[in-house]
Amino acid sequence: MSIKEEEFYIEPPYKYRPSIAQYLTELDVNERAFFADLLHLDRKKNINIERYEKDRLIIRLISDKDLTDSEIYLWQFLKRFEKKRGKKRGLVELRREHITKSTIEYYAFLVRKNYIRKFYLHFTRSFSLIWLFPLFLISKIPTKSENYLPLIKFCYAIFGFIAGLLNTALFFLFIPCGLLKIIRSPAELRTLLRRFVLRYLKITVIFFLVLAGAWVITNVALFVGSGLSALLEQYSGTDAAAIFSIVLLLWIFVTSISLILVFAVFFYFFGVFIVDFITWLFENKRALQHREQWLKFKAFICDYSALEDKPLKYYELWDEFYYYALAVGAIKRIKFT
């Protein structure tokens, strides 16, 4: 989104959770959103980050009042590492390795749910449109922990599979909606190109490259198997046809499993892409206004501050400016000290 005029910010444009600000600006949720929301909990006095060390944060749990579902998850996540006895009771030692890929994937799902509820078209007006059903369903999935992640991934994969079957219909359905949105807000063209067109090309190219690699590997295996069966027949008198039939069955089995896995992974990522795209396509006007303000805020931070490489400890100096800058991408790398 192009910034037509610079603005000076003495405070962030909005005060909701930083992870929502990241999804607005990047249409993605990653580790930066997770840590930004932790700092946000510190400012709300739900937790107190007592020490920033090289490879860990020492956090004291204070109160779980007035938390949203994603913040409740953060609280419960921290409780896993809470000290239960002695003087350190109530303290949490949070290390970087505690935050796994599954943790971030599940947290991204919660942020998407919150975003849909906050910035999406009202469901009573929109639910009759069949392409909104994935978003409606995803906002209603009852979740409490990463244990639900396989169910969530399965839902995304189903969405991706259906979208793949309806590829042509969706193209002719969504393109006019996208063009209408860009006409109303020309700045969204950059969002479309950077966040969706390039992402779609990346997913598609990787998918076909993996398919090509799987085809090469399985055919090489078949060629080697047939060669080995011929050698065995020549030197041991074993029936080559029987050996080759076993090799062929194994090849078919391995190929089938490989293709199922490849398509399952593809449909999962394609499903996430479709959900993000539909969310962007049918978000309300307030989302456009907020995205523009957050991008201006990001440009302001990048132009007039030296926060880009500053560690989390600088939150003590910059307060909420720091964690919103972290969320919207003005700070690229996460360092504790």
pLDDT tens digits in sequence order for the chain, 337 residues long: 444 455 777 889 998 899 999 999 988 899 999 999 999 999 999 999 999 998 899 999 999 888 887 888 899 899 988 887 666 777 999 998 999 998 998 898 888 888 877 776 544 444 434 445 555 565 566 555 677 788 778 878 888 888 777 776 667 777 777 888 888 888 888 888 888 888 888 988 998 888 888 778 777 766 776 666 666 666 665 555 566 667 667 777 777 887 888 888 899 888 888 888 888 888 888 888 899 899 899 988 888 877 888 899 999 889 999 999 999 988 888 888 7
Q: What DSSP line would sit under 6-73, residue for residue? A: ----SS-S--S-HHHHHHHHHS---HHHHHHHHHHHHHTTSEEEEEE-SSEEEEEE----S--HHHHH
Q: Count other Cβ atoms within 10 Å, centred on residue 77.
A: 20
**Cα–Cα dist 189/185, whole Å:** 8
Query: What is the pLDDT at residue 281?
Result: 83
Query: pTM score, two decimals?
Result: 0.81
The b/e string for 110-129 (b: 16+ C-beta within 10 A; e otherwise) is bbbbbbbebbbbeeeeeeee
> How many residues in total does the chain contain?
337
| The predicted structure's pLDDT at residue 39 | 95
pLDDT of residue 225: 64
CB burial string 161-185: b at 16+ within 10 A, e below: bbbeeeeeebeeebeeebeebeeeb
Q: Where are the domains of the chain?
A: 18-328
Beta-carbon contacts of 228 under 8 Å, excluding residues fewer than 6 positions away, are 243, 247
